[in-house]
Amino acid sequence: MRQGSWLRVFHESLAVIGRIAASAFLCTGNLLDASAGLAGYVRAKNALRCQDENPDRCIEGCTSLIQSGLEHDKNMSIAFNNRGLAFGLRGSFDRAIQDFDQALKLTPNYAEAFRNRGEAYRRMGQYDLAIQDFDKALQLDPNHAQAFNGRGNAYESKGDLRRAIRDYAQAIRLNPDNDDALNNLAWLYATAADRTLRDPAKALQYARLAVALNDEGNADDLDTLAEAYYANRDYQNAILTENRALALQLDLATRLKFEGSLAKYERALKQSELCRENCVTAQNEIQYSIQ
């Protein structure tokens, strides 16, 4: 299981809003016309900022919309949802949850807000609450692939690996290009604590698909692929792949973690080479004694 970036959650949520909302909240282009007047221009500017991935700008824009008193409930719930996402970008998940709460008070059938609150609870380690919210999101939108993926993460964190596998697989069925779910399922099949659930061949299959979707530009996907090669005892490819992951821009904690994995693969390759040498020597000695 990979935690995944909150920025990705932010972008996914905005994409969902863009697909389903008929709200004027997103129809800002016409308001930028001077004929809309100063109030319309200011409102449009705040609406755009309320969708900005810079958390400070997003929070400022959403707060201005919320405090204006001019938005109807649906727009207000979107503004609270987006501001919650921005607080998540800051790592303030408890504050994010407060905004998702407000979004759901205004729009009780807001599936995306349930999914986002579930993600926040999951990142705070409150897995039961996370699962409850993912369940609600899926009741409202049974085809929400990311909600299945998030619930799979929560189940995996709780140690319920069979349910996690089912949820990751369903996320992939709904969206075969969901590299996050592909990566999570590959990691689980490669590293499951319950060895009866390990499947190195499937781990390699799903990891390769995830890497291909990002054109080898995602370090986590490459790290998972390296682990999948390791699970298949292909230590040379594990080393090559981990080095590709390390060549990407990484924070210090991730780099240290990946370097630890690389050292593990290098030890495994050395041991396998020693084993082969010992086996060849033993076979030669046996053949010589027979002669």
Residues 6+ apart with CB under 8 A from 91: 6
DSSP class of residue 33 equals S
Written as six digits, the tokens of 164 are 């996690």
Complete domains list, the chain, with CATH: 1-175 (1.25.40.10), 179-291 (1.25.40.10)
pLDDT in tens, the chain (291 residues): 566 688 888 888 888 766 544 444 544 443 334 445 667 788 889 999 999 989 999 999 999 999 988 888 999 999 999 999 999 999 999 999 999 999 999 999 999 999 999 999 999 999 999 999 999 999 999 999 999 999 999 999 999 999 999 999 999 999 999 999 999 999 999 999 999 999 999 999 999 999 999 888 899 999 999 999 999 999 999 999 999 999 998 999 999 999 999 999 999 999 998 987 666 454 444 443 443
Sequence letter at residue 67: Q
- Residue 28's pLDDT is 43
Query: How far is it, in rounded angstroms, from Cα 172 to Cα 180?
Result: 9
- Residue 287's pLDDT is 42
Written as six digits, the tokens of 205 are 């299959």
- Residue 31's pLDDT is 39
Query: How far is it, in rounded angstroms, from Cα 260 to Cα 124?
Result: 26
Query: How far is it, in rounded angstroms, from Cα 161 to Cα 168?
Result: 10
Sequence letter at residue 161: L
Indicate the SS3 state at residue 175.
coil
Query: How far is it, in rounded angstroms, from Cα 285 to Cα 291?
Result: 10
* Residue with the two structure tokens 């994409």: 15
- Residue 286's pLDDT is 41
- Residue 42's pLDDT is 85
